[in-house]
């Protein structure tokens, strides 16, 4: 992940960053499957903002620094226009950045001639999916995801099945009340879902069918559960809800402070997180954040930070907002939990485009809610930069509390004379020489017959997000390659029933289902096909962009 040089080609770098951020937004908000750690994503946003500030002529209204982040509404659900925009928040990555925000806010208020005492509301930042729930005369009439902040997805039927979301409000409900909050999956519901999926996968594997993805974290599992086509599936997943803000209100006077609004919402029967706290100054904010850095894992749900808001709504109004975020609030991101373990080995895997990626084989250790035994090291430069060597005691953390990351070695525990790790000259799968092009970070296996590369490329082609061929999973592809039934993605469309029926575990129905799924894949959108073809540097977003521009393969 290098891209154009920011000094030599700032415009190219800006375009590259925007495309990369767009692809990550799609993965996070639309597919509920992030492919990058939160901290790394924040670095991309910060670099883009820095370049735009240095080159104002490159700023466009569509840039994620100007329009905010979020996903476009899915075609699966009807669009809902938010009457009041659901904005994202700026982040503070440490207490020093949080202090800078407080000082900056104080100066801005002084410039406005406002010398009022500022109180803050501290709220736990639930790791879930933001929704707006609208009540009319006390009855729930609509629920929508945040989407891109202006337009969300209508998930009324699904939200109505979540027991924590009241269908009717208490006495005195106004004509219109919009409550905004976070739908999330509690840890016990997440564990139950994981166990259920693992059990179902045993049965699917026995029948030769594609297994379901095992949920990796409560945030993605909760978002995926909310966005089900079948509302009864959502209702079965044990989701919950905390309200964090009053949106539109008609028929009642809006409380003068955010804390008062939360108390009023609670009186209406809407759940508000009991850990929310009003503090008198920034020192109280720091104490609240420091406490939850230490005690976050005592909660029955996952948090990824603390949201700090100025309590007085008049001061909020005076401060206003940028194009993407309010100036009166900020999200403090909790630092990742870290553990030490032993780096047993560094091995190299070959991906679908031939990328040779080093990864750490670790002595298993429990960190961030799960046991970790492996972690990517990305490329040779990262291994050199971190100076990690097999035999080292290393620091491991969950980047963004999702993706395992080796931070670096504990040098005082390094055994004497421990040699540096050397990147292999040859592919570990086919033994052909690996190459590294000038200016690129990755080594590549360019042998089209490389067994690991062929297997990975066919698996990707058949996967969800590409051609989505149900029944053609990793084990099936490995068997077909081993027996000579296929050698590349084109051979998928030449598979015949008779040879497959000779294989263990296959019966007439399962073979017919597989061939039907292969036939159905021929009607997938062009963007899916382009993404599935394993073109180097072409991701899902790039495939969709090219497809939209050209329309068909004949263009």
Rounded Cα gap, residues 430 and 482, in angstroms: 15
Token code pair at residue 110: 């002084």
The closest of 113, 114, 118, 143 to 131, measured between CA atoms, is: 143
Q: Is the dihedral of CA 40, 193, 300, 239 positive or negative?
A: positive
SS3 (DSSP) at 352: coil
What stretch of H or E contains 247? strand 240-250
At which residue do the structure tokens 């004949």 appear? 554
What stretch of H or E contains 144? strand 139-145
Rounded Cα gap, residues 504 and 521, in angstroms: 25
How many residues belong to the chain?
555
Dihedral angle computed from the Cα positions of residues 289, 293, 295 and 297, in that order, rounded to the nearest 10 degrees: 130
SS3 (DSSP) at 292: helix
SS3 (DSSP) at 359: strand
Token code pair at residue 175: 């004509």
Rounded Cα gap, residues 127 and 182, in angstroms: 8
What stretch of H or E contains 18? helix 10-25
What stretch of H or E contains 344? strand 338-350
Query: String of b and e for 371-405 (b: at least 16 CB within 10 Å)?
Result: ebeebebbbbeebeebebbbbbbbbbbbbbbbbbb
Rounded Cα gap, residues 28 and 50, in angstroms: 23
Dihedral angle computed from the Cα positions of residues 439, 544, 351 and 381, in that order, rounded to the nearest 10 degrees: 30
Contact 51, 13 (CB under 8 A): yes
Q: Is the dihedral of CA 494, 497, 499, 503 positive or negative?
A: positive
At which residue do the structure tokens 């209406």 appear? 268
Neighbours of 469 (CB within 10 A): 24
Catalytic residue positions, numbered: 125
Rounded Cα gap, residues 106 and 126, in angstroms: 27
Q: H helices of 26-133, where?
A: 38-54, 64-67, 95-111
- Measured at the alpha carbon of residue 197, what is the angle toward residues 194 and 198, in degrees to the nearest 5? 85
């Amino acid at each position: 992940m290098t891209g154009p040089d920011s000094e030599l080609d700032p415009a190219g770098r800006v375009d590259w960053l925007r495309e990369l951020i767009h692809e990550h937004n799609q993965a996070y908000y639309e597919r509920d499957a992030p492919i990058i750690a939160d901290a790394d994503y924040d670095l991309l946003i910060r670099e883009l903002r820095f370049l735009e500030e240095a080159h104002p002529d490159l700023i466009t209204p569509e840039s994620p620094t100007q329009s905010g982040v979020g996903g476009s509404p899915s075609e699966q659900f009807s669009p809902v226009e938010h009457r009041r925009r659901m904005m994202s928040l700026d982040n503070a990555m440490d207490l020093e950045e949080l202090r800078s925000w407080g000082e900056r806010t104080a100066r801005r208020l002084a410039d406005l001639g406002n010398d009022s005492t500022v109180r803050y509301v501290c709220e736990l930042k639930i790791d879930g999916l933001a929704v707006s729930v609208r009540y009319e005369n006390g009855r729930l009439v609509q629920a929508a995801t945040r989407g891109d902040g202006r337009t969300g997805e209508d998930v009324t039927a699904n939200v109505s099945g979540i027991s924590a979301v009241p269908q009717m409000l208490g006495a005195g409900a106004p004509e219109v009340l919009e409550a905004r909050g976070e739908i999330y999956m509690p840890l016990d519901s997440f564990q139950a879902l994981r166990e259920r999926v693992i059990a179902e996968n045993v049965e699917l594997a026995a029948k030769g069918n594609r297994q379901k993805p095992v949920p990796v974290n409560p945030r993605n599992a909760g978002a995926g559960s909310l966005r089900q086509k079948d509302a009864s599936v959502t209702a079965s997943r044990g989701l919950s809800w905390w309200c964090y803000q009053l949106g539109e209100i008609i028929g009642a006077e809006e409380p003068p402070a955010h804390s008062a609004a939360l108390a009023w919402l609670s009186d209406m029967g809407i759940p508000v997180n009991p850990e929310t706290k009003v503090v008198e100054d920034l020192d109280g904010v720091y104490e609240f954040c420091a406490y939850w850095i230490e005690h976050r894992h005592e909660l029955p749900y996952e948090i990824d930070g603390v949201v700090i808001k100025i309590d007085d709504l008049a001061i909020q109004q005076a401060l206003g907002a940028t194009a993407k975020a309010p100036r009166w609030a900020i999200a403090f991101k909790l630092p990742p939990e870290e553990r030490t373990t032993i780096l047993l080995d560094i091995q190299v895997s070959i991906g679908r485009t031939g990328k040779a990626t080093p990864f750490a084989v670790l002595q298993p250790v429990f960190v961030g809610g799960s046991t970790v035994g492996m972690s990517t090291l990305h490329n040779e430069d990262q291994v050199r930069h971190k100076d990690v060597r097999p035999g080292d005691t290393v620091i491991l953390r969950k980047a963004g509390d999702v993706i395992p990351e080796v931070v670096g070695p504990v040098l005082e525990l390094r055994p004497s004379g421990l040699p540096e790790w050397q990147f292999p000259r040859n592919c570990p799968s086919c033994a052909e020489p690996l190459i590294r092009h000038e200016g690129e970070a990755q080594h590549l296996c360019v042998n089209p017959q490389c067994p690991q590369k062929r297997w990975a490329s066919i698996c990707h082609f058949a996967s969800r997000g590409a051609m989505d061929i149900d029944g053609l999973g990793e084990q099936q592809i490995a068997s077909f390659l081993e027996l000579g039934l296929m050698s590349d993605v084109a051979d998928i469309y030449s598979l015949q029933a008779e040879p497959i029926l000779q294989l263990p575990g296959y019966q007439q129905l399962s073979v017919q289902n597989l061939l039907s799924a292969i036939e159905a894949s021929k009607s997938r959108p062009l963007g899916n096909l382009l993404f599935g073809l394993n073109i180097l540097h072409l991701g899902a977003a790039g495939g969709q962009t090219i497809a939209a521009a050209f329309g068909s393969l004949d263009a």
